[in-house]
Amino acid sequence: EDKVVQSPLSLVVHEGDTVTLNCSYEVTNFRSLLWYKQEKKAPTFLFMLTSSGIEKKSGRLSSILDKKELFSILNITATQTGDSAVYLCAVEGHTGKLIFGQGTTLQVKP
Amino acid sequence: SQTIHQWPATLVQPVGSPLSLECTVEGTSNPNLYWYRQAAGRGLQLLFYSVGIGQISSEVPQNLSASRPQDRQFILSSKKLLLSDSGFYLCAWTLISGNTIYFGEGSWLTVV
């Protein structure tokens, strides 16, 4: 059965801390792994990863994929209160199926 | 430009009543279409996905159904709602080429 598992489920840190969010997966015919940030309504796109070992970076956020060990991490450095959100990992297969993990709820305290 | 519209935004329905949530995509052709439900603390649960007109894959057995009468239209329905159907429903689309997924604005359904 295809599945995506994120850890931790929730995390509380203080501003300036660095956090690492994890996503492991088992999906038939893997095509890509995506990270999203969800604050209130619909998730917003952060990264799409298709190749192992190539880091994607956007400001204080970065992500990398390991297709051998079937996981990805999302790093956020120098966290700010505006980073507080639910972070979702999703994996897409070649059949078009797109499965999400449970999400990690991040709270950044001032 | 590519956009996705989902409606209604909020809905309060009595138990046993029917449901119809509609989603349309503009600015693209032959998208993959998805319906997700997000219950509190449970992430995004895939309900249905479609890779073409009339092609619907169901992921979770339930009293919901989906239809794709046109290339860019995806409808989520129920004949009789249950209390457990309450939640936040999201329509989404991707292109078959493996592009990123785009979400509708979401629909809050409360079954009372």
Average pLDDT on B48-55 reads: 92
Gyration radius of chain B's alpha carbons: 13
List of domains in chain B: 3-107 (2.60.40.10)
Task: Label residue B66 by pLDDT band (50, 70, 90).
Answer: very high
Of A77, A38, A41, nearest to A57 by C-alpha is A77
Count of C-beta atoms within a 10 Å radius of residue B20: 12
Residue B96's pLDDT is: 65
Contacts of B102 in chain A (CB under 8 A): 45
Query: Which residues numbered 41-60 in A keep a CB inside 8 Å of some CB on B?
Result: 41-43, 45, 48, 50
Contacts of B46 in chain A (CB under 8 A): 97-100
Q: Which residue would you say has higher pLDDT here, B42 or A9?
A: A9
Length of chain B equals: 112
Q: Which runs of consecutive H residues, i.e. helices, occur in chain A?
A: none
Residue A6's pLDDT is: 96
Residue B39's pLDDT is: 72
User: Quick one: closest CA in A to B101, which residue?
Assistant: A45
List of domains in chain A: 3-109 (2.60.40.10)
Contact A15, A79 (CB under 8 A): yes
> Which of A19-33, B67-81, B97-111 shows the lowest per-residue confidence on average (mean pLDDT)?
B97-111
Q: Which residues on adjacent β-strands are paired with residue A90?
A: A34, A100
A45-57 residue pLDDT tens: 899 999 899 999 9
Residue B71 CB burial class (10 angstroms; 0-12, 13-18, ≥19) = middle
Task: Label residue B92 by pLDDT band (50, 70, 90).
Answer: very high
For B8-36, the three-class secondary structure string (H helix, E strand, C coil) is CCEEEECCCCCEEEEEEEECCCCCEEEEE
